[in-house]
Amino acid sequence: MYGVGQKHLCHMANKLRSKDFKKINIHSDKTISIALGILNRYFKHDSISENLALIKAIQDKPEEYLEHKILYKIANELIEEKIEDTTLLTIDDREVPLHVFGRPLIKSNAYQQMKTALKLPIAIQGAMMPDAHLGYGLPIGGALATKEAVIPFAVGMDIGCRMSLTLYDVNERFLKMHEHKFKQSILNHTAFGLSRVIEYQQEHEFLDRDVFNSTPLLKNLKAKAARQLGSSGSGNHFVEWGLVTLNKDELVGLPAGTYVGLLAHSGSRGFGAAIAKHYSNLAKDISNLPFNLRHLAWLDMNKEEGQEYWTAMNLAGDFAQACHDRIHINVAKAIGLKPLAKIENHHNFAWKEKLHGEEVIVHRKGATPAGKDVLGIIPGSMTDPGFIVKGLGNEDAINSASHGAGRKYSRKETISKNTKSEMNKHLRQHRVTLIGGALDESPFAYKNLAQVMSFQENLVQTIGTFSPRIVRMAKSK
């Protein structure tokens, strides 16, 4: 048997050292120190080859580890590292227009992230909404116009993430009388989170489209789309019943008054994520951007890769819409309600639009389209009312508005600052029933939406509100 000292020596010999990092082109002492600290604490029973394989995986695709509760620190350091390469594209500090709405509400790290994106030679104009906060690629709440190029990570992993609101011809009294049925309708006919699907057959014309045969990737993803149809992601995605107070407006086509509404927020699930991952990696592979900017790598719209992504991105957006269609049909059918009107919009997408008379590609990473008279929904939190709006067509904002209140605190900060009991008390005070839902999505995590809206009076006009009553989200982990 080994003695204590021998055991210790064997253990130490089985761990990575600084020279191992340098062999794979990681030279920063800070990065190496952070990585060794994490490996020695959380992965001390793994072999050298296993440790090295993990570091290589993070090095190759650091963006995939940014949400990991332990490895995100290593990923952040690797993203920040600057690797000298004489073949890299030279980035000039050009003066590209940037218009910021609600600057007092926006942290400097998000502002600097947008300024970095505007260094790209394809950038035409940038805008930040008052809900903006740090994201990956672009800040969430950012809009970026480019010339003849599309940036997969400026669209994001959840392509076509969207809002959809259906109004029904019943009132608050009906909702209260049948509260149990309303609760069961979203409990039985929605599904949230990784690998969660609706347990009965879903149909939609989306699945019959010939475009699935246009590339091997889309052909292979069709079965995934069929399985996930009608389901929702985790995080801040939700389906909720609530009360709609509508002002008179010809665009909605309904009289002013109060209606019961069903509001959903989700995107293109694993189908869209697979498309985003494939084309983001492709863009980075063919990019000659400096290492710390490669997450902003673009695809040329005049080349096959750009056209392929554009087709796949639009299909993912249509899949997100198809999921929302099924959610609204399935849930309303359980109660026997027929729709009066529907309002919906994407907010993680790219569009071909005119800006100052020039055709551009507009990326909206967590921003609501707000062209002249375009309808949209800007949701609140679990408890705070959201807003139904129509766009005013402000070109300084790249015809965009916020997509919500925006996070005030990160998920980790929210959990450290609040308790589940405090959140439950807040829900009771606002007469909201929550099904599932995690503390990191509590109302305390978000900025004040009324304050956010006060900074975008030149971007949108409010024509109604939505007040949550029964909310379903993914369960706490």
14-22: Cβ within 8 A, 24+ apart: 14/47, 14/48, 15/39, 15/40, 15/44, 15/48, 15/51, 16/48, 16/51, 16/52, 16/55, 20/48, 20/52, 21/55
Question: CB 424: neighbour CB atoms within 10 A?
Answer: 14
Question: Which residue's entry shows tokens 């009360």?
Answer: 243
Kind plus residue range of the DSSP H or E element containing 149? strand 149-150
Residue 149 lies in a domain: no
pLDDT(3) > 60: no
Q: Which of 25, 46, 80 is the last residue of a domain?
A: 80
Using 50, 70 and 90 to split pLDDT, how confident is the model at 306? very high
Using 50, 70 and 90 to split pLDDT, how confident is the model at 280? very high
The answer on 171 and 23 residing in a single domain is no
pLDDT of residue 135: 87
Tokens standing for residue 459 = 């971007």
Which one is predicted more confidently, 12 or 317? 317
Residue 326 sits in a domain whose CATH number is 3.90.1860.10
Q: Which of 39, 59, 80 is the last residue of a domain?
A: 80
- What does the pLDDT average to over 424-447? 93
Instruction: For residue 280, give the 3-state DSSP assignment.
Output: helix
DSSP, residue by residue, 321-383: HHHHHHHHHHHHHHHT--EEEEEEEESEEEEEEEETTEEEEEEEESEEE--TT-EEEE---SS
- What does the pLDDT average to over 401-407? 94
Q: Looking at the 3D structure of the chain, how many domains does it have?
A: 2
Domain that holds residue 19: 4-80
Question: CB 57: neighbour CB atoms within 10 A?
Answer: 13
- What does the pLDDT average to over 36-60? 89
The answer on 76 and 159 residing in a single domain is no
Residue 150 lies in a domain: no
Using 50, 70 and 90 to split pLDDT, how confident is the model at 7? very low
The two beta strands, 460-472 and 433-435, are parallel
Q: Which of 46, 80, 114 is the last residue of a domain?
A: 80
pLDDT of residue 8: 38
pLDDT of residue 85: 38
pLDDT of residue 2: 37
- What does the pLDDT average to over 321-331? 97
Range from 62-71, 231-240, 272-281, 293-302 carrying the lowest mean pLDDT: 62-71
Using 50, 70 and 90 to split pLDDT, how confident is the model at 83? very low
